[in-house]
Amino acid sequence: MRLGVLSDIHGNRVALDAVLADLPPVDGLVCAGDVVGYNPWPAACVAAMRERSVPTVMGNHDRAVASGSAFRFNSMAAAGVEHAREHLDDDALAWLADLPDERRVADGRLKLVHGHPDDPDRYTYPDEFSPRLLGDEDVLVLGHTHVQGYERFDEGVVLNPGSVGQPRDGDPRAAYAVLDLDDLAVETHRVEYDVDAVVDAVGDAGLPDRIGSRLYDGR
């Protein structure tokens, strides 16, 4: 079984469309959370996950939008939460609210979380990946840091596919991964997208300019 692995889409429809167009043949998709937040297209990104029945876990921005709280968020993140709440209908908000913190797929062989198996809001960078993160699953997928990376251990694989909509690892291209569960092989992918179009849309939506301009640097 081959799965496309996504995370941290953050309302960036342009980047998501580029990733979906670039995906090689896969048997399905999974998403490690933060479908919404920051960028101008939360409704389109939620719809894309729902239409494809993508198993998804709740990210911290998803939770903030669903609950109406942006506690401890900076001004950019808080603006993205407010924008999403204004542009999502009740069904989309209910979908976000129903997302779990953890999800198992592929007969339990793959576990999805957002930040860390013990804390969905904990940042876990690739240099912190270790077998201790794994339970009885073969693959742990997480996001939250927006930094692409993976490690393969005797006990299994720990994978962050990187961020579709707001990379922070110095590479501005949209990030995703493809996982082959048969041999636990991982392919990391990057794809160019029209950042200028996102920057223009950020301005048109009245969102903070930095939400768009940071995309040029992948930071």
Spell out the residues 6+ positions from residue 41 whose beta carbon is closer than 8 angstroms to its own: 11, 12, 13, 14, 201
Using pLDDT thresholds of 50, 70 and 90, give the confidence band for residue 70.
confident
Q: What type of residue sits at position 7?
A: S
Query: Does position 94 have pLDDT exceeding 90, yes or no?
Result: yes
What percent of the chain is modeled with pLDDT above 90? 97
CATH code assigned to 2-216: 3.60.21.10
Q: What is the pTM of this model?
A: 0.97
Domain ranges of the chain: 2-216
Query: Does position 140 have pLDDT exceeding 80, yes or no?
Result: yes
Q: What is the rounded end-to-end Cα distance, in angstroms, of the chain?
A: 33
Average pLDDT over residues 202-215: 97
